Amino acid sequence: MAISLQLALAAIAVMLCAGALAFAAGARASRINDLYFLLLGASGTLALTAGLGGLMASTPPATTLPFGLPWLPWHVRLDALSGFFLLLIGLVSIAVALFGPSYVRGLAHGRDPLSVLGGFTGLFVAGMLTVVLADDAFLFMVAWELMSVASYFLVAFQHEQAANRRAALLYLLMAHIGGLCILLGFGVLAAFGHGFDFDSLRNALPPTPWTTVAFALAFIGFGMKAGLVPLHAWLPEAHPAAPSHISALMSGVMLKVAVYGFIRFVFDLNGDLHWGWGVAVLTIGSASALMGALFAVVQTDLKRLLAYSSVENVGIVFIGLGLSLVFLSTGHRLLGVIALVAALYHALNHALFKSLLFLGAGAVLHSSHERDLEHMGGLLRRMPWTGLFFLIGCLSIAALPPFNGFVSEWLTFQSALQAWQLDSGVLRSLLPIAVAILALTGALTAAAFVKVYGVAFLGRARSRRIRRAREVSLGMRAAQAWLAVLCLLLGVLPMPVVALIDAVPRQLLGIGLAQATRHGWLWLTPVAPATASYAAPLILLCLAFAWWLVRMLLGRARLRRPRRSDAWDCGFAPPDARMQYSATAFAQPIRRVFGVLFRIDESIQNDSGTSRYRLQIADRAWESFYVPVARAVQAASRRVTWLQSGSIRVYLGWSLATLLILLWVIS
């Protein structure tokens, strides 16, 4: 067994031990808080090292574990795809390990036992690590359910709040529906492959109708876990309910495990690719990106806004995967590789900057006990380091150079802009629409995070809690600094990252992206130098020079010593915090333009001479998709109740009728 696979298995074992230690500690879990997060950091370091080894290995190591069923042992394998997602899990786990001790210490005085939080966090991370290592459908589903059930208890951690219980129940229901779809998808392939290990599934080669059925089941199952529209309803409910470091793991890592499962199933196991699959993925991904961005703009709850932003970014990842499927299935393999690399790069980027933003939101919540943007303001003066790191996260997620979000979205644009090479006129028309939606999504995302940073960190404090906020501990700042530095490095030096990710398409598709880094560490040329190129270090150098120039000019202007006096205020009262732009007011123009996509309840209430403005914005997906299903289930349940008459004679009659039908069918 190769050392990289041993390290990956050791990472799982460490997290299982950490979870068992937390459960065994019981009421004394707060005493082992630092030890627990030290184990989480050790597991993240092992996973990061193993992931790098998997990406660099020429031959994927594999082994069989002495667990499972007598006729179906557990198979594990560490190839390039598994290595990439192990690296992703490790990077975020290290940040959470730095952030967690101080944050969880603030939860120690609550009514919820920390042993439950620590124990299920260990099982949650162990489940995610096992999913990406599984080499058979049985172990994959066991690990998938472990990940889902453990995260349910984490969402329901503060269960005394009814909203948290509702969010946890919705998440558990949708997680199990998605898991059932994935299981059926594996079942379709296993029926033709006569085995559950992934090698048997790769060699199954079912006919096209059945591969399409398997694809549809996998797309629904993994898309539900990833939060794609319209299966995203659980995500904006569950992420705000969970503790902030768990939200970082769920949004930054768990959603990417769903992306891993989709890539593994469709690109690796399910045989030949079809352009219709790419159109479906591209359409749903574009809708998710646009709707996620729109709903993020109009939110005032900081963690709920970040949750909707995750819907948007997962949509961008699936836009890249859809483009890859379209290009690969039509014979344009190089363009398909560019789109796949762009999707993987954005998955990594989103894991970093979204975890950074959730940890930043957790720092604000830990210091001020406030997550409503309408009550914030002026946090940059009180929490300067958190404000700096949060700004880096906002710039990264808004895809502004030289940060990492720009690189992956630029690569996605470069692949989509090659639509003219397709033979089909329909596809040549569809891809520019996706490009336009992606561009609109980028603008809306920038608007959303200008709103977030401007309202929360600039201006004046709007509440007493915010005025009392202070900077968080060194460990919490170090976690944010770790992710912020990575966001900058992956934006300034994309060439080594692309070269590392290139191992994944070479393993899955047999073709790499060597020309992207052929011109050295300075220039990124995904298609050809004459088509498009990007030099991030030069952009950083230009920005640094512009900053120095502005500082120098401002310094000279100060030497003139202008006369300072109060400005004429036209007789108005001095400004106060209530006169500032609010988050609701900032989003008002966008809300008006796209109002048809929301269910808006807006009114002014007059109570004892005081007017109150009331605004509620709901997701139309509830009315159009979930509510009809719930009503149908309730109606079916009411019709079934007539079977429960309470008479033993009726029950015996049903039993006799069932027995007669079974005898007739069997005979």
pLDDT tens digit sequence for 96-132:
999 989 898 888 776 778 888 889 999 999 999 999 9
Residue with tokens 């392939």: 189
Q: What is the pLDDT of residues 598-612, one digit of tens each?
A: 777 777 777 666 777
pLDDT given at position 251: 92
Which portions of the chain are predicted below pLDDT 70? 1, 110, 520-521, 556-569, 571-575, 607-609, 642-646, 667
Please name which of 373, 584, 483 lies closest in space to residue 90, comparing C-alpha atoms.
483
pLDDT given at position 44: 94
pLDDT given at position 605: 74
Structure tokens at 464: 């007493």
pLDDT given at position 359: 95
DSSP type of residue 242: S
Per-residue buried b or exposed e for 30-40, using 16+ beta carbons within 10 Å of the residue's own CB: bebbeebbebb
pLDDT given at position 110: 67
Write the DSSP assignment of 413-476 as a string of letters.
HHHHTTGGG-S-HHHHHHHHHHHHHHHHHHHHHHHHHHHHHHHHHSS---SHHHHT-----HHH
Please name which of 63, 65, 58, 98 lies closest in space to residue 80, comparing C-alpha atoms.
58
Cα end-to-end span (Å), the chain: 53
CB 78, CB 61: distance < 8 Å: yes
pLDDT given at position 556: 66
Number of Cα atoms under 13 Å in the Cβ half of residue 138: 15
Q: Cis omega (within 30 of 0) on the bond before 230?
A: yes
